[in-house]
Structure 1
């Protein structure tokens, strides 16, 4: 794949901009037609897409269909179905009787060119969480996948072109220069990735005075209360911590368990973890559960977090090492006797590790959950729904799942975003999930064709007195002030 220069990226952006007005002019029905054709192409080429994704990542085959194809098609259908309603002209009433001579409405106009930059952990789905909404809004979209995993998304973009769709979606490839050029070439940027890169993009977007949406790191906590269904909670922890080898922004990365059920919960998690099969299976085989770590650098971070925790007194209940032989495979690892002085509890690991902590009560669990630079998502397991909702209200994160994990990513009617170091802005969120790709125009129309406004020049004392009296009468909270009797 070419390591593109800024000039090459700008040329692609220029071409997309030139095609955008025609795309916008197609209207919702015309754009919907092309998205449906793209959806059908994805479904028709599912096996080839997944083979490419697996070949460049080493994922287990079982992780692929739901995480890549099902999620992508679901998001595409949602925005194709709802975009017209969400972006319809929004009429509103004047806020005061003094303004009843006005008609007010808001129009949504697409940013001409939107940029989407994604990391290496979900090649198709990560882009498809965003671009269908931008396309349905009428934007052209310039995308860049990670230089570590560019092949799966590049193939999908070729699919868009192969169906004869308008030239409003393309992918550039390359390292830092190409990514920086995307940020400089677009009118709005959607970024998913590391906190460090996200901050740099946010600062550049501020310099350019363009909107940005940043989904960054997570250190998502799971709280298990004493009244929880321990079997369900343990299974959820293992899937939520180890799916895609833990390389998901909303992976479960730390678990706080109330003391009365701690031993039972740990025993079940360890039991389920021991049964997991690690490796990359053949396409369609489904003989492995946990695939490869995507890069050597990420493997080093995982090893550092585990080794540092052990040095500080943590216990490895299961796993804890890279598997010998070819490939970047790390054993699913459960860590006990951990605390917040350790990297595995403080920094994003993005790997197959589950640190588990015993806590005295729910309030301690909430306090320690909130004591983090991240705030993307969290989970609570309890049979008491009212208690679960009350604790969810106390957790300082963008989403909270009650009796489940990671499901917040796929709830398209509600916002998906983070707090603090986990980013700014939101994916999804019903109407707001597509309106972020638009700029808003307020239109104010006069109801009556008056020859002049009462406050226009020349200034007249009589008109001024009339206006101020009317304002006082409508604004004051008591009759004496309305009638100027005090």
Structure 2
């Protein structure tokens, strides 16, 4: 789940700052907090403190670090409503979206990484086919990189901002988190919570600020985890490359859904409406375009239209108050509006919604577009808002071709009662994750890797790779029983070398030629 953030943007400790950033509630326009904008010098001081604290944190081992994470899991549940309320105030999303896609993710992640970090990062014994290492001990070990920089997005301040800190910390690193300047309050609150749970001082620090703060973080850390737009991701990768530090990027998406003619249309319509409008469509794995086989197109559109038309949008005041909240990032409202206007100008029809909402808050109506095609930005560019364009296709082959006709490849979904056929279609889609008869649910399985193909990113989160990326690998070879001199040692002798060559031919030279 990524965002279309602008430049890398978010105190570790109470550091005085020359400027402040006002944090607004997108649903009301009210200022709900202020945070300091840290400069490069303050980030450098933060990095020095983090490096000094990291060695002691690493020395606690997986068990010691895991105890802190499990206490944090309980803290999160004890403070659930406070956390939800903070997320809602700075994002404008519904309480249910904050609970189900953020709180639940964080609680699961604390426990998951506490339990699995040791198995993912424990020493690995290796068997080799090499003749030269027979009888020797081979292993791979994982060492924390040291200081990790996490640059988070505005759309999921817990899941995709703070959430990436959890495996980095469990691997034994110190972390500087730079949350988006639009939604920094959740990260600050969770960092306070972790300190209450026993996290040593300076192991996790929050660098609030805008683009210059983000660039300063990149200049001082040993690895960068960035979630945001593809455009900004390229800039992050370029700056990391200048320092030859690793980078992991989760970037933009334009996730397709394919509805085959044998699909359970009621389930497919429910999934489409939820995955397009949940969090106001501000999720990189939101369903952003749908391809429906012609025989069931009209029925599917009718079901989606009816369900989308019943959605409630407004200021989220508590559980059950609204289904769809506000647009979190101010410029995003203009992008959504432009995509809808472009589609309508080129012949599309908005059968539901299609307009900005009234009042001081930032709202765009849940919008269903039909009669769409790939000449329209709504079908080809990341909209990142509450829109659902639906296109009629002749068959599965056309759907696959159009689904893959995109620079993005983050997620996708396929709906068919024939799960064998559905999986076969899924395997042909250019996407890092594909759900069959579900949407976005793969993200909740932390055992599965989550990462984008093509312009949707580099590397993955979750699974073994989601924590190993925060480490460097070391190969170790131990020779226990050995002669004084091996056959490949100096001095070289013709007779010995010819015997070795004969051995090579016996070992590798008996295969059949074509």
Name the TM tier (shorter chain): over 0.9
Structure 2 unmatched runs, 5+: 1-34
Mapped pair 1:43 → 2:86:
no
What is the CA-CA distance between 1:99 and the residue it aligns to? 2.7
Mapped pair 1:202 → 2:261:
no
**Aligned residues of 2:162 and 2:177 also touching (Cα < 8 A):** no
**Which deviates more, 202-211 or 373-382?**
202-211
String of CA shifts for 1:47-91, please: whole Å, max 9, x gaps: 112211111122222211111111111111111111111111100
**Aligned residues of 1:375 and 1:420 also touching (Cα < 8 A):** yes
- Distance of aligned partners of 1:295 and 1:98 in 2 relative to their CA distance in 1, 3 Å threshold: closer
Structure 1 unmatched runs, 5+: 482-486
Which residue of structure 2 lines up, in the alignment, with residue 244 of structure 1? 279
Q: What does residue range 75-114 of structure 1 map to in structure 2 within 5 Å?
A: 75-114=109-148
Which residue of structure 2 lines up, in the alignment, with residue 218 of structure 1? 253
Which residue of structure 2 lines up, in the alignment, with residue 62 of structure 1? 96
Aligned pair partner of 1:453 in 480, 486, 490: 486
What is the CA-CA distance between 1:328 and the residue it aligns to? 0.5
Which residue of structure 2 lines up, in the alignment, with residue 307 of structure 1? 341
Which residue of structure 2 lines up, in the alignment, with residue 274 of structure 1? 309
What SS does the aligned partner of 2:139 have? strand
For residues 108 and 40 of structure 2, what CA distance do their matches in structure 1 show?
34
Aligned pair partner of 1:360 in 386, 391, 394: 394
What SS does the aligned partner of 2:129 have? coil
For residues 332 and 478 of structure 1, what CA distance do their matches in structure 2 show?
64
What is the CA-CA distance between 1:128 and the residue it aligns to? 4.2
What SS does the aligned partner of 1:15 have? helix
For residues 298 and 59 of structure 1, what CA distance do their matches in structure 2 show?
14
What is the CA-CA distance between 1:245 and the residue it aligns to? 0.4
**Aligned residues of 1:117 and 1:143 also touching (Cα < 8 A):** yes
**Which deviates more, 398-407 or 98-107?**
98-107
Aligned pair partner of 1:396 in 418, 424, 430: 430
**Aligned residues of 2:88 and 2:316 also touching (Cα < 8 A):** no
For residues 385 and 415 of structure 2, what CA distance do their matches in structure 1 show?
23
For residues 402 and 456 of structure 1, what CA distance do their matches in structure 2 show?
57
Mapped pair 1:330 → 2:364:
yes
String of CA shifts for 1:283-314, please: whole Å, max 9, x gaps: x3421100000122000000000001111111
TM-score by length of 2: 0.91
What SS does the aligned partner of 1:143 have? strand
For residues 152 and 181 of structure 1, what CA distance do their matches in structure 2 show?
22
For residues 321 and 306 of structure 1, what CA distance do their matches in structure 2 show?
8
For residues 129 and 147 of structure 2, what CA distance do their matches in structure 1 show?
34
What is the CA-CA distance between 1:95 and the residue it aligns to? 1.4
String of CA shifts for 1:114-159, please: whole Å, max 9, x gaps: 1111110011111343222111111111101101111111111121
Which residue of structure 2 lines up, in the alignment, with residue 433 of structure 1? 466
What is the CA-CA distance between 1:236 and the residue it aligns to? 0.4
For residues 165 and 153 of structure 1, what CA distance do their matches in structure 2 show?
15
Mapped pair 1:467 → 2:496:
no
Which residue of structure 2 lines up, in the alignment, with residue 386 of structure 1? 420
Which residue of structure 1 lines up, in the alignment, with residue 204 of structure 2? 169
- Distance of aligned partners of 1:463 and 1:305 in 2 relative to their CA distance in 1, 3 Å threshold: same
For residues 110 and 132 of structure 2, what CA distance do their matches in structure 1 show?
44
What SS does the aligned partner of 1:130 have? helix
**Aligned residues of 1:379 and 1:405 also touching (Cα < 8 A):** yes
**Which deviates more, 443-452 or 145-154?**
443-452
For residues 511 and 262 of structure 2, what CA distance do their matches in structure 1 show?
54
Q: CA RMSD of the aligned region, Å?
A: 1.4
**Aligned residues of 2:167 and 2:467 also touching (Cα < 8 A):** yes
For residues 226 and 358 of structure 2, what CA distance do their matches in structure 1 show?
35
Which residue of structure 2 lines up, in the alignment, with residue 133 of structure 1? 167
For residues 123 and 295 of structure 1, what CA distance do their matches in structure 2 show?
13
Which residue of structure 2 lines up, in the alignment, with residue 261 of structure 1? 296
What is the CA-CA distance between 1:393 and the residue it aligns to? 1.1
String of CA shifts for 1:218-275, please: whole Å, max 9, x gaps: 0000000110000000010000000000000100000000001100000010100110
**Aligned residues of 1:75 and 1:128 also touching (Cα < 8 A):** no
Q: How many aligned positions are there?
A: 478
- Distance of aligned partners of 1:458 and 1:97 in 2 relative to their CA distance in 1, 3 Å threshold: closer
What is the CA-CA distance between 1:98 and the residue it aligns to? 4.0
For residues 57 and 187 of structure 2, what CA distance do their matches in structure 1 show?
22
What is the CA-CA distance between 1:6 and the residue it aligns to? 1.0
What is the CA-CA distance between 1:97 and the residue it aligns to? 3.5
Which residue of structure 1 lines up, in the alignment, with residue 218 of structure 2? 183
